[in-house]
Structure 1
Amino acid sequence: MYTASTAFLEALAEAGVDYLFCNFGSDHPAMIEALAEAARSGRRLPKVITCPNEMVALTAAQGHAQVSGKAQAVIVHVECGTQSLAGAVHNVSKGRVPVLIFAGASPFTQFGELPGSRNEFIQWIQDVHDQRGIVRGYMRYDAELRTGRNIKQMTWRALQFAQSDPKGPVYLMGAREVMEETLDPAAQAGLAVEDFAPIAPAALPQEAVHALLTDLAGARRPLIVTSYLGRNTQAVAELQRLVGPLGIGVIESVPNAVNLPHDDPMYLGCQWNEPRQNPHLAAADVVVVIDSDVPWIPTVSKPAPGAKIWHLDVDPLKQDMPLWSIPARRVFRVHAQTALAQLNAGLDRIGLDVARIGERRAHYVRAHEARKQALASAEAKPMGDRLTAEYVTACVRAHVDADTIILNEGITNYPVVVNHIAPTRAGQMLNSGGGNLGWTGGAAIGAKLADPAKTVIALTGDGSYMFSQPSTVHWMARHYDTPFLQVVFNNRGWRAPRYSMLAVHPQGEASRAADIGVAFDPPPDYAGIAAAAGGAYARQVRHPDEVEAAVAEALRVVKQDRRAAVLDVWLPHLMEG
């Protein structure tokens, strides 16, 4: 049989989708049959990865796409599975990650009128008014498949949206009767995925190239602020080519990727929620914001009133954010790599004051070196028996090489991980790009599937570890041979809500309370969960003298024994400090 499900799976394969991250249900008989038929006949279709939890399925697809740059597919069960995708939908949307989500739908016939008609009680209960509406606000495109005859066109159109800037998730649904429809394979043969190419990258107008270069060349303290330029690793090289010759400082605001290698002398650090003015931002007279959702938090840190601000972004309107603005006078929707290449190509056509550029380059080099020394002091081995996140992260960094990918979900330790891993290669560090916790577990599996030769290390808070569904994650890691190291920063609770409370009510009653409802102490056996679910190497680390040996042994297990490893690292309690 050649059914609509066969054509759908073929369409995904022809579009370059490698994996189906699946949580099958009663709506998928035709798809399961098509996969079995393909396995028997040798038809090439994407490989099925069984995901016992839907959120893990989507985080795994996200991790794969973040590393490979290619959209992957997630298959879930009707509206229940759609809702179980949970906050991972937020992450792929806010992180602008291309992924196709397909959900079946309850059959629309009940007396056997068509193949796939209702035959289970649950199919009346799962028939809801607006299944697509559950996720519509997060999707770049959503549609219902109503016939198999145009299913390849619908699939490729969805992927065209997913892979066109600003990229993101797309959602398709189809009832059992549609997915069971028998088709003529010959009628599908003339269709071409090339007819649904992603939209070409957008460039700066030539006038803007000259004007921006003129502003940068004439500035005393030019500064670039970015958050996710480095999602495209080729853009990082273009940024380096620009800032070195022109002596332009670079700061990251809430970085989602490696936007500039940290050993570049123009790199000045990152800022997250720290309640202080960034001195480089305050001193800048020309600020270029490139690919950033939150370039600064204006109540605590912002440019000087007279600074000239340019905004270059894949999504400058921030269409999904009801409240958003920065005081930029020149705003362009552009592809960062393309725009930076234009700027580099135009350097020869403007006059450069060598003395001015030399002075500001020397200024930024001094700031870079001072920051480097301060970080080295912060990550020194503690003298007592209390661990610090800085020291633990530095011990991990000692094992990071060109074949290592770091996944950062440190939450209140986000900046610690960024600063003390200090990545020196584009693509070396990633985070979810969104605000839903529990990304690292599934993302580590997806990253490993995308590039099996890489060593994947996930650094996560204890709260986000629990959100990640570790029993599902570590079963999958063993079953699909995707071992990785997971380091859990265990402070026995959610420190972020405490920090938020103190920022608003620093002298309030809660500031003096011993328990504000955010601790889980004593904590679960985090490493033991992974050992029970997936045979992971499990170890608890409580003393500075244990860290180096624990990290070394855990990575030996990952690389040589091909088992996942979890280090449960005890930091000071969240209510301390």
Structure 2
Amino acid sequence: MALDQAERKAAPDNRTGAESLLLGLKSAGIDFIFANAGTDFPPIIEAFAALDENAVPVPVTVPHETASVAMAHGYYLLTGRAQATMVHVNVGLANSAMGAINAASDNIPVLIMSGRTPITEHGRRGARVSPIQYGQEMYDQSSLVSDVVKFHYEMRYPEQGGLLAARAAVLATSEPKGPVYVSLPREALMDIVPASNADAPCLQAPATVPYPDPAAIAQAAQWLSAAKNPLIVCQRGDPDGRVGAALADLAETFAIPVVEPFSIRNLMASDHPMFLGYDIKMPLAAADVVLVVDSGVPWIESLHRPASETKIIHLGPDPNFQRMPVRGYQADLAIASDASAGLTALATAMEPTTSMVEERRARYARLSRERLEKAAENAAEGCASPMSTEWMSHCVAAVMDERAVIFSELGVLPGHLRVNGPNRIFSNPHSGGLGWALPAALGAQLADRERLVIASMGDGSYMFANPIACHQIAEALELPVLTIVKNNSMWNAVRRSVINSYPGGAAAKSNRMPLTSLEPSPDYTQAAAASRAYTERVEHGEELPAALARAVEVIRKERRQVLLELKVAASDKH
């Protein structure tokens, strides 16, 4: 006979595998489980209902699996705390795979869990009871994500719940960080944990961060101190902003210019005098020593390869990016280290400033000012119908306060924003799994309900985001995200790729390039309006500042989501 809720709370020796798992996840620091339920979930749902809600993570219903992983991704970027997802067997895991790929590319710790169709046909609690439990079984379900996760395992016995939760969490959050996967058969979830194993959940700590080899730091400091034109290349920092702070101090103290090509999580303030923006070409050509800080793709070898005599230093938790099968960047020195610890050690080891440093300081401060002035001029030229992305970005920057964050997926141009420090601009990972920005922004908004959170994306990326599901989540959880859809009625990234590959070719000359058009354009505002969002369509650039001001006012006063659909011109540059 089943135990009632009061009996279950008082009788830990009668816990199920599902209860053990949920208790273990909470003990491992998991705040939320973003879940898309299926027929494998009854023991999980029963466990949520039976246990004290303060002893388990908060269950969040997410009506599409790709959104669940992206929400965990965005939540981590704002808080530095890993979260969990759970989806339905192989079909749900298949939909989660793109989110897992994005998380792996950006070293985001996410605990991805899925059910596993019952192993047994009869005779055990949790055995098969429906036709789909035959049709959904696989020989190797974990193969759907095993190539990108750090760890994957199938729960075998109910007493493994707490241990697997702890093990998965510490592996996900130890450097280099990344997603992990656990599959959960119904039998193991429904079985009772043996009394001899009904102890408190297993507690484990993530590995401490790696610190740099002093000899390697001394060598790097010597090269950078002696360099006439040193350069720092970076792409991402940490959620706490420690890397950005250490980087800004090092650049300022020794007058070393910084560029952020292919930025994923911004590090530098827009107006920092040593910040040269996002274009690597000219700074790399002039550099004699380059410090690459935790950047998987610091430049494109076929376009901007540095001179052979240039010294290249890579620094980061995994400076050689072993996850990438092919990566041939020159590395005269590869320093495995927590990025902020490595930068701080370099600053301590470098020689005092010299006249050469002061000459650099004046030169790069001037170039930084000129870059900002030119960006403002270019933006103003795009105030038209359709407006330019430069103008759109310039206007969005004007409504962002000092705490606002933006998630961009082929949306805004970072060089036309004005931010005061790190972790204000989050761009889609280099894995390119589209549909990331909107659900990631939802996760960030859940982490901080008072912050202005913006999701900016192209119309094609918006389609990939499963917008009906995302807007439903925003309404259900009362997340007042500002969604900006940049509508150019095409997959412009594909069009640009064709033009760059075949300049002057038949496709480039055609009136309508095959496989790129998204016409006729849907009315994107209606997708959001179905979930009671405030919506506007903006056709002319002159109308945008006022529309953005109204959007922010709705968010601040009415606390509801907003969608703006903007008519934006296609560009051959971005």
Q: TM-score, normalised by structure 2?
A: 0.94
Displacement over 6 Å in runs of 4+: 574-577
For the Cα contact (< 8 Å) 2:24–2:201, is it kept in 1?
A: no
Q: CA deviation at 1:231?
A: 4.8
Aligned to 2:180: 170
Alignment check: 8 A CA contact 2:112 2:181 kept: yes
Structure 1 gaps of 5+ residues are 272-276
Which letter maps to 1:371? R
Asked whether 1:504 is paired with 2:514, we answer no
Task: Find the partner of 1:199 among 177, 194, 207.
Answer: 207
Which residue number corresponds to residue 92 of structure 1?
103
* 2:520 matched residue in structure 1: 522
Measure the CA separation in 2 of the matches of 1:166 and 1:383. Answer: 44
Q: Does 1:74 align with 2:85?
A: yes
1:227 and 2:230 aligned = no
TM superposition shift of 1:192: 4.0
Match in the other structure for 1:120: 130
Partner of 2:309: 306
Q: Give 1:293-372 correspondences, 5 Å limit.
A: 293-347=296-350, 350=351, 352-372=352-372
Secondary structure at the aligned position of 1:83 is classed as helix
Which letter maps to 2:443? G
Name the amino acid aligned to 1:173.
S
Partner deviation per Cα, 1:239-280 (whole Å, 9 max, x = no partner): 111111111010112111112112110100113xxxxx7111
- Higher mean alpha-carbon deviation, 335-344 vs 422-431, is at 422-431
Aligned equivalents of 1:175 and 1:167: distance in 2?
26
Match of 1:552 among 524, 549, 564: 549
CA separation of 1:287/1:78 partners in 2, compared to 1, >3 Å: closer, same or farther?
Answer: same
Partner of 2:302: helix, strand, or coil?
coil
Residues 341 and 520 (structure 1), Cα distance of their counterparts in 2 relative to 1, 3 Å cut: same
Match of 2:144 in 1: 134
Pairing partner for 1:37 from 21, 45, 50: 50
Aligned partners of 1:318, 1:383: CA distance in 2, in Å?
42
Q: How many angstroms apart in 1 are the aligned matches of 2:382 and 2:331? A: 45
Match of 2:58 among 19, 22, 47: 47
- Counterpart-to-counterpart distance in 2, 1:116 and 1:298: 54
Q: Displacement, 1:318? A: 2.1
- In 1, Cα distance between equivalents of 2:50 and 2:29: 20
Change (3 A) 1:147 1:544: same
Aligned to 2:288: 285
Change (3 A) 1:382 1:426: closer
What SS is found at the alignment partner of 2:111?
strand
Checking the alignment, whether the CA contact within 8 Å between 1:9 and 1:45 is kept in structure 2 is yes
Does residue 59 of structure 1 match 2:55? no
Matched, 1:431 2:434: no
TM-score of the superposed pair, with normalisation by structure 1: 0.94
State whether structure 2 residue 540 is matched by structure 1 residue 543: yes
Alpha carbons 1:403, 1:453 under 8 Å: kept: no
The separation in 2 between residues aligned to 1:574 and 1:224, in whole angstroms, is 29
How far did residue 42 of structure 1 move?
A: 4.9
- Return the match for 1:244 from 246, 252, 256: 252
**C-alpha spacing 1:329/1:575, structure 2 compared with 1 (3 Å):** closer
Post-superposition offset of 1:441: 1.5
Letter in 2 for 1:19: F
Relative to structure 1, the CA distance from residue 185 to residue 379 in structure 2 (aligned partners, 3 Å threshold; closer, same or farther) is: farther
For residues 137 and 190 of structure 1, the distance between their equivalents in structure 2, rounded to whole angstroms, comes to 33
Matched with 1:441 is 438
1:188 Cα offset (Å): 3.9
1:554-569 to structure 2, matched below 5 A, reads: 554-569=551-566
Residue of structure 1 equivalent to 2:472: 475
Shift of 1:314: 2.0
**1:259: which partner in 2?**
267
Alpha-carbon distance between aligned partners in 2 of 1:188 and 1:431, rounded to the nearest angstrom: 44
Query: Distance between the aligned counterparts of 1:552 and 1:383, measured in 2?
Result: 17
- Other-structure match for 2:413: 417
Shift of 1:26: 0.7
Local SS of the residue matching 1:519: coil
Q: CA deviation at 1:375?
A: 0.5
CA distance in 2: counterparts of 1:526 and 1:42, whole angstroms = 38
**Shift of residue 444 of structure 1?**
1.4
Q: Which runs of 5+ in 2 are unaligned?
A: 1-7, 9-14
Question: How far off is 1:21 after superposition?
Answer: 0.5
Q: Structure 1 residues 65 and 353, CA, compared in 2 at 3 Å: closer, same or farther?
A: closer
The match for 2:3 is: none
Identity across matched positions, percent: 33
SS in 2 for 1:87: helix
Greater Cα offset, 183-192 or 208-217:
183-192
From the superposition, tell whether residues 206 and 527 of structure 1 become closer, same or farther in structure 2 (CA, over 3 Å): same
* Equivalent runs, 1:205-224 vs 2, <5 Å: 205-224=213-232
Distance 1:384 1:311, change over 3 A: closer
Letter in 1 for 2:501: V
Q: 1:186 to 1:560 in 2, by over 3 A?
A: farther
How far is 1:383 from its partner?
A: 5.9
Q: Paired residue for 1:3? A: 16
C-alpha contact 1:268 1:364 (8 A) present in aligned 2:
yes
For residue 485 of structure 1, report the CA deviation from its aligned partner.
Answer: 0.5
Distance 1:239 1:166 in 2: 20
Q: Which amino acid aligns with 2:23?
A: E
- Give the alignment's Cα RMSD to 1 decimal: 1.8
Q: What CA distance in whole angstroms lies between the structure 1 residues aligned with 2:237 and 2:477?
A: 32
What is the Cα deviation at residue 422 of structure 1? 2.8
Cα pair 1:490 1:571 within 8 Å, conserved: yes
Q: Which moved more, 1:420-429 or 1:557-566?
A: 420-429
Map of 1:274 onto structure 2: none
After TM superposition, give the deviation of residue 480 of structure 1 in Å.
0.4
AA of the residue aligned to 2:113:
F
Structure 1 window deviating more from structure 2 (432-441 vs 118-127): it is: 432-441
Question: What amino acid is the match of 2:32?
Answer: Y
Q: Structure 1 counterpart of 2:332, which letter?
A: R
Distance of 2:454 and 2:277 partners within structure 1 = 22
2:403 aligns with 403
TM-superposed CA distance for 1:184, in Å, is: 5.2
